[in-house]
Amino acid sequence: MDHKNMENHDHHMDSNQKQMSNMSKDDMSDMDMSSMDHGSMPMGHMNHGDMKKRLIICIFLMIPILLLTPMMGMKSSILHLPYQEIIVLIFGTIIFFYGGKPFFEGAKSELKNKKPEMMTLVTLGISVSYLYSVYSTIINMTGGHQMDFWWELSTLIVIMLLGHIIEMNAIMQANSSMTEMVKLLPHEAHLTSGKDIPINQVKVGDSLLVKENERVPADGTITSDKAMLDESMITGESSVVQKKKGQEVFAGSLNKNYPFELKVTVVGKDSYLSQVAKLVEEAQGKKSKAETMADKVSSWLFYAALIFAILALIIWSAINGLSYGIMMAVTVLVIACPHALGLAIPLVVSRTSTLAAKNGLLIQNREPLENVSKLKFALMDKTGTLTDGDFKVHDYMTFSKEFSQKDIAQIMAALEEGSTHPLAQALVEAVSDNSLKANNIENIPGVGIEGNISGKEYKIVNEKYLKENGINYNKIDNEDNLTVSYLISGNEVIGLATLGDKLKPQAETLIKELKNRGIEPVMLTGDNEKAAQKVASELGINDFRAQLKPEDKAKIVKEYQEKGNVLFVGDGVNDSPALATSDLSFAIGSGTSVAIAAADVILVNSNPEDIIKMLDLAKNSNRKMKENLWWGAGYNIIAIPLAAGVLAPIGIVLSPIVGAIIMSFSTVIVAINAMTLKV
């Protein structure tokens, strides 16, 4: 959907975006799971099933421990069995080593990277609890009386495993869009020879038949006269699209009324669905500022907890003995376990990704969304963003006795044959029967196109090209402010075509809502001054730039960045420099711009109102992240000193289990707060 700078009549297309291919369900499944980046989850190499198995086993072992050990200050256990100390020791040891393995691996990774964070802190807490409990059990079995922490240790590990399963579910939910893509592909493809083959055996050059109400099995080029396709599942566009011979189709599209044949163009990881999956994967692998902050807070918390635990151990051992000192130190380490902090950002990110997808938004880069409150300007293209980009030829004119209006129309259509540019398509569609064929066709970036017809050179250019090259031309009465494409031969203008576009119905709402949020809209276009002025006036845009080339836009973005943060909206093809330069960028159109990594967000439905939805969602998401960071770690400002016994002189002391309950409660609050996020 190359709508970018179409006013400049720039037909420059990225050839890489045309090389779409099919990808088998096996390939999609591999990408979905095996290449999913869980590096941000400090749980070693545990998969979801393994974590659930560990949790279930630990729960079964925890139950007898709870019944056979004193809890929450009680003097005796609920049940009394022979050799119960040995039973508790065995079950507790299994829970510690088997249930604690994910935390040990996570701590090992953190220490290897010299960045002790939450897993190191958790490992320190449960290790101290376990070693002291073993010591206490030995003392008790030899006739002494020593308090142990088996109850607290087993419940803490179970709580932590349960919390991390919740986190893994959240991240897997965020990745679910890739598994949903697998459903778009059929199991088999029909060769035109009559043979059916598995989807993963389709090769480049295969000729396939797509029957009625079947999904297209592979990206390719239509070889039949026409096809009627519903591409809503991959592009978000709800209307049925008519495709003609020679046009591209994407795997996953639904064939409606007419069986058609296609030739597979490319097989591999360049297909449309594969590119989307890759973007989702890369986006989820990137850490935002909020996630980085959560890691830093975890690190600070580790050192703070360690210092307070050591102080509590030394001071309370001197006052009440080693047993009491260890209990206070363990309490500090337990209550400081930052599991809620580990969930604080991933849960919000997961919820944000889900809501964005439901509203036709594909987030490629989350970090710029954390600065939406700083946006001052919204720079956007006219065509494709504010207008439909659905051009229609209004009129042809000839300025040479040698050429009639029909000649002008046929020459321009011949030059544009095969181009996917909206202006080009309009010129081709306006000529029903054209016997002319053009050769040696080349794009003129930011200008138009040139080619050879019957041994004669022709160019289709815009008005700015004529002025810059000193070519004389007749100015026409353009009261409707139409887009004008000039046809030249040599240095002589021999004719022109006027084309019109119309505003998108949502464009006015977009401009109004941007202004309501204190963001000044600026329209950028390669079209003439009058056409730009008309659109700007209709939409209430006070600032606009006309007759621009693609390279001008990045410079203008930098110009406005001197005054404040800039949002840029383009289609992701010719605007890549501007998209990359801006503080936050949106790419219009999911057909080809989804392959452009420069944009931060893809507007799948090409609906400008979705920009407002994303800004509001980002603002709400940022608020939830801040709230969760405070819930996940802020309570420790009070809890850690309290656990260390600061208020013990007045009778307020926290036990390890109370610390575990407080930690668990903060996790629940963080989860509920994230799930209440709305657009």
**Rounded-to-integer distance, Cα 513 and Cα 521, Å:** 10
- In the structure encoding, which two tokens stand for residue 69, read together? 């050990």
* DSSP E strands, 265-374: 266-267, 361-363
Active site residue 381: yes
Which position among 2, 230, 295, 381 bears the catalytic label?
381
Cβ of 225: how many Cβ atoms within 10 Å? 10
The two three-digit tokens of residue 633, written as one number: 């770690």
Q: Report the alpha-carbon distance of residue 569 to residue 582 in Å, rounded.
A: 9
**CA–CA gap between residue 459 and residue 371 (Å, rounded):** 45
Write the DSSP string, 130-171.
HHHHHHHHHHHHTT------HHHHHHHHHHHHHHHHHHHHHH
| 59 close to 365: Cβ distance less than 8 angstroms | no
Distance CA 167, CA 41 (A): 8
Nearest Cα to 527, choosing from 12, 10, 14, 13?
A: 10
Cβ–Cβ < 8 Å for 328, 313: yes
- Which residues in 154-190 are b (16+ Cβ under 10 Å) and which e? bbbbbbbbbbbbbbbebbbebbebbeebbebbbeebb
Alpha-helical segments (H) within 69-100: 84-94
Return the half-sphere exposure (C-beta side, CA atoms, 13 A cut-off) of residue 200: 8
Distance CA 669, CA 356 (A): 23
Positions marked active-site? 381
